[in-house]
Amino acid sequence: MSIKIGILGYGNLGRGVEKAVNECDDMELVGVFTRRDPANVSTLSGAKAYHVDELENMKNDVDVLIICGGSATDLPEMTPKYAASFNVIDSFDTHANIPVHFANVDKAASAAGKIGIISCGWDPGMFSLNRLYSESVLPGGKAYTFWGKGVSQGHSDAIRRIDGVLDARQYTVPVPEALEKVRSGENPELTTREKHTRVCYVVAEDGADKERIEKEIVTMPNYFADYDTTVYFISMDEMKAEHSGLPHGGSVIYSGQTGSGDSAKNHVIEYSLKLDSNPEFTGSVLTAYARAAYRMNQAGDSGAKTVFDIAPALLSPLSGDEIRAHML
């Protein structure tokens, strides 16, 4: 029997989930739910597109609803709302608001007897798992998270809002010397500027004042002012040819000790990702956790969960015997 999946929101992440679901023999994609006119939405796999309002009539047709919205305004409203009717899962990543979001989803999901997994993907998600595993095994060590090299969509959007900019792509790049220091187990104190640089590719309007644009970028508070930022002006053709992908990745490096004093021993744990497509990988993580949401709910569990609460075996379509024989 297949797990019936619905996708709410059909942008890059929704398409990533669609591809991942299609690779899973134990799942079927019921449909894509959109706020747009579904007549204008054609899906990669040919799955049916529905208007989001149809979800109300499909409570028995969808086992898990994977919510592919933005963290700023979509998810805080959508995830609790749909947790009242479906097992849901999202990739909420506004760190400071996770406690409130968790509480809201927990209230709705618990009342409905459904599972609501929040903040799933790679960071938060797989990176969080590695921070937790490492800190639990080697308490009192130091976790460093580096992002990139990869495209930050938020920073790219910020550049696009500057007057005279037609298109932009911003790469976050870890500083190699900082990575090496951390990998060596030195436990350095690193400022924001020492950890990452930002590299921007910008297509300017004809005749635009490039000097002004560059200055507006590198001095932009929160986004760029605290970083060493490099700006390259390129043509629209070059943008399309060289920067159309959404690669990303990064590393969680944890440096800890056993014992103390002269006999203390150092240990370095590193988890790293090199992703050709950020939304497709994130969609794959959401899909694996959708399987867990379904199984936990079938077993009678309900309420809000994060990756921390989910036994790894629940992610795999294989049986306990199979994973012990082949992966342990």
CA gap 36, 271 in Å, rounded: 39
Total residues in contact with its own copies, by rule CB under 8 A: 68
User: Cβ contacts of residue 159 below 8 Å, gap of 6+?
Assistant: 165, 168, 170, 200, 202, 217
Per-residue binder mask for its own copies (CB under 8 A), 11-50, x = binder? -----x--xx--xx--------------------------
Q: Do residues 67 and 79 make contact, with C-beta atoms less than 8 angstroms apart? A: yes
Per-residue binder mask for its own copies (CB under 8 A), 59-98, x = binder? ------------------------------------x--x
DSSP 284-308: HHHHHHHHHHHHHHHTT--EEE-GG
The answer to whether residue 119 forms part of the interface with its own copies (CB under 8 A) is: yes
CA gap 248, 225 in Å, rounded: 22
* Collapsed DSSP state (helix, strand, coil) of residue 160: helix
CA gap 170, 165 in Å, rounded: 13
| Residue number, 232 or 308, with CB nearest to its own copies | 308
CA gap 308, 126 in Å, rounded: 10
In this chain, which of 2, 219, 235, 272 binds its own copies, going by CB under 8 A?
Answer: 272
User: Which 150-209 residues touch its own copies, going by CB under 8 A?
Assistant: 183, 185
Q: Candidates 34-42, 214-222, 236-244, 259-267: pick the segment binding its own copies (CB under 8 A).
A: 259-267
In this chain, which of 3, 32, 159, 315 binds its own copies, going by CB under 8 A?
Answer: 315
Radius of gyration of the chain (CA): 22
Q: Candidates 72-80, 167-175, 220-228, 276-284: pick the segment binding its own copies (CB under 8 A).
A: 276-284
The answer to whether residue 2 forms part of the interface with its own copies (CB under 8 A) is: no
Taking each helix axis from N to C end, the angle separating 98-112 and 74-83, rounded to the nearest 10 degrees, works out to 20
Q: Which residues bind its own copies (CB under 8 A)?
A: 16, 19-20, 23-24, 95, 98-99, 102, 119, 124, 126, 128-133, 135-140, 143, 183, 185, 258-260, 265-277, 280-281, 283-285, 288, 291, 306-313, 315-317, 320-321, 323-325, 327-328
